[in-house]
Chain A
Amino acid sequence: AQSVTQLDSQVPVFEEAPVELRCNYSSSVSVYLFWYVQYPNQGLQLLLKYLSGSTLVKGINGFEAEFNKSQTSFHLRKPSVHISDTAEYFCAVSRAAGNKLTFGGGTRVLVKP
């Protein structure tokens, strides 16, 4: 079975500052990795995913994440945040060739002007 740990439950950040959201996972088999975003009172939307290939993955809205197999991490970054990035962000993992996702507890990002 796999598990996901998001190390920060809340991250306050000023507008135009960079942000990094940390995600670590544990699994004994190959995995696929995802970051989802949930804006207030909405469902989840996919930001980006890692299936294979280049370890640096670019997603929507200027976000990117880097897969580090040796550290079992998949941290999400954005070089300059906007007020509209205020949301909750979820890291998730799926066993490769499986179809069930395991989610982390979420990181709430609050962008301040």
Chain B
Amino acid sequence: NAGVTQTPKFRILKIGQSMTLQCTQDMNHNYMYWYRQDPGMGLKLIYYSVGAGITDKGEVPNGYNVSRSTTEDFPLRLELAAPSQTSVYFCASSPLAAVDGLEQFFGPGTRLTVL
């Protein structure tokens, strides 16, 4: 199993450009998440999904959009990149049932710089 994969690993954007961060998991997890990590701030939840076709906002959703057309994929879109979106982005997934302990499995991250 590859687990959770993310592409690209690194990206530099100019202000106002758009891009999609890709996330795929092969563990058949229903739940998927997008976080951003800023120094000293831990991880903040951007969006999450409880299954195909269902998404919801997290703590910091402004400036981002998501879709979930399949169980495996959960792309994150930035429409108009801003310097405040410079961060490291992590995708994660977890099993549906609470009895599974709610462990989230993380991808390796995408380091995004907006200049």
Contacts and interface: CB of A to CB of B under 8 A. Distances in A.
B108 A9 contact: no
Interface in B37-68: 40-45, 48, 50, 58
A27 to B, nearest CB: 14
User: What's the interface size class on A, roughly?
Assistant: 20 to 34
Contacts of A42: 108-109
B42 A104 contact: yes
Closest 10 CB pairs of A and B: A43-B106, A103-B42, A44-B106, A103-B43, A105-B42, A43-B108, A97-B98, A46-B103, A99-B31, A94-B102
Interface string A35-53: 0100000111110010100
A49 B100 CA distance: 11
A105 B40 contact: yes
Given A42-B108, A90-B43, A105-B42, A99 B94 contact: yes
Interface in A73-104: 90, 94, 96-101, 103-104
Contacts, number: 57
B107 A49 contact: no
A4 B58 CA distance: 16
Contacts of A101: 43, 45, 102, 104
Contact of B101 (A49, A104, A105): A49
Given A43-B109, A94-B102, A99-B31, A106 B45 contact: no
A4 B33 CA distance: 19
Interface of B: 4, 31, 33, 40-45, 48, 50, 58, 90, 92, 94, 98, 101-104, 106-109
A101 B48 CA distance: 11
Nearest to B108: A43
B106 A100 contact: no
A3 B101 CA distance: 19
A67 interface: no
A46 B102 CA distance: 11
Nearest to B103: A46
Given A44-B92, A51-B101, A99-B102, 7 more contacts: A9-B40, A32-B102, A43-B90, A98-B98, A100-B45, A103-B44, A105-B42
